[in-house]
Amino acid sequence: MVVNRFRVTWYRPMLLRSGLPTNSELCYFGANRIGVADVKKRAFVSWLGIFVAGFVCGVVFSAWKLDKYGAPESVSGPGMREKSTVSDVRSRIAGLEKMLAVNPNNAEALVQLGNDYFDTGNYEKAVEIYQRSLAVDPRNPDVITDMGVAYRKMGKSKEAADAFRKALEVDPDHSLALFNLGIVLRDDLKDYPAALKAWEAFLQKAGDSPHAVMVRPWVKQLREKAGSAPTQTGTAEK
């Protein structure tokens, strides 16, 4: 699955951009469980109550709104809102380009500009801007990771893997670089032992994050493919 920007089913995963949240904890059921019949009964009653209350509130609010404001005007659909968002990004790109014409070594502006080009699908330009940013601040693992994601979007899997490894040289604990490296190694370069190693290292750092929940079955599959028994670390993660 590739992380401003971070997406559990069996499909070809996207790489993750550095801006995505990675520390959200999952909610687990407690040890004291109730029977299935009780669950169904309580769930039905709860949803029925919510539905009735929501329906009544909706009718009352609609009547009040019509009485106070009259009939609503037509609103823009999702397509128009998306177009507006793209327009905003392009306007910001123009502003950042002007800013960088005056101060070309503004690292923060370069990072934002690279992110904006990425978000508009111009990955080649995003890589170019990321490289300019790294010329100013070469030890920014987030930018290196995002550049790796852009390389993969361009179909340059080897360059993507190299970027993730470089990010890990700067910050060995960069979990997104490990996550992304495993995906590229497994899905693109077919280097299953290296992908397994990257994801095992990722699981040591990811705790119970949602991405760790995704990676555990992938690690299990790779171990079965390699015919290896679970390591002590893998056993502890179950």
Residue of 221, 186, 215, 185 lying closest to 200 (CA atoms): 215
Name the CA radius of gyration of the chain, rounded: 24
Q: What pLDDT score does 134 carry?
A: 98
Q: What pLDDT score does 14 carry?
A: 59
Apex 231 CA angle, 229 and 237, nearest 5: 120
- The one-character DSSP state at 23 is -
Q: What pLDDT score does 58 carry?
A: 53
Place of tokens 């490894």: 165
Q: Which amino acid is at 71?
A: A
pLDDT at 35 over 70: no
The domain segmentation of the chain, as residue ranges, is: 37-68, 81-138, 140-238
Packed helices 123-136 and 107-119: angle between N→C axes, nearest 10 degrees: 170
Q: What pLDDT score does 178 carry?
A: 97
Q: What pLDDT score does 72 carry?
A: 36
Three-class secondary structure of residue 22 per DSSP = coil
Q: What pLDDT score does 54 carry?
A: 55
| pLDDT confidence band for 53 (50 / 70 / 90) | low
Chain segment 151-197, per-residue pLDDT in tens: 999 999 999 999 999 999 999 999 999 999 999 999 999 999 999 99
Residues with Cβ < 8 Å from 30, sequence gap 6 or more? Answer: none
Average pLDDT over residues 24-35: 28
> For the domain 140-238, what is the CATH superfamily, name and number?
Tetratricopeptide repeat domain (1.25.40.10)
| pLDDT confidence band for 86 (50 / 70 / 90) | confident
| pLDDT confidence band for 27 (50 / 70 / 90) | very low
Distance of CA 116 to the CA centre of its chain: 16
Place of tokens 């469980």: 33
Helix and strand element counts for the chain (H, E): 10, 0
d(CA 134, CA 130): 6
Between 80 and 108, the more confident residue is 108
User: Are 81-138 and 140-238 equal in CATH topology?
Assistant: yes
Average pLDDT over residues 112-126: 96
| pLDDT confidence band for 92 (50 / 70 / 90) | very high
Residues with Cβ < 8 Å from 147, sequence gap 6 or more? Answer: 114, 126, 127, 130, 131, 134, 163
Residue of 72, 86, 136 lying closest to 110 (CA atoms): 136
Q: What pLDDT score does 33 carry?
A: 30
Q: Could you tell me the maximum CA-CA distance found in the chain, to the nearest angstrom?
A: 70
Q: What pLDDT score does 207 carry?
A: 86
d(CA 157, CA 195): 13
Residue of 142, 137, 147, 166 lying closest to 18 (CA atoms): 142
The CATH architecture that domain 81-138 belongs to is Alpha Horseshoe (1.25)
Three-class secondary structure of residue 216 per DSSP = helix
Contact 38, 25 (CB under 8 A): no
Contact 145, 164 (CB under 8 A): yes
What pTM does this model have? Answer: 0.65
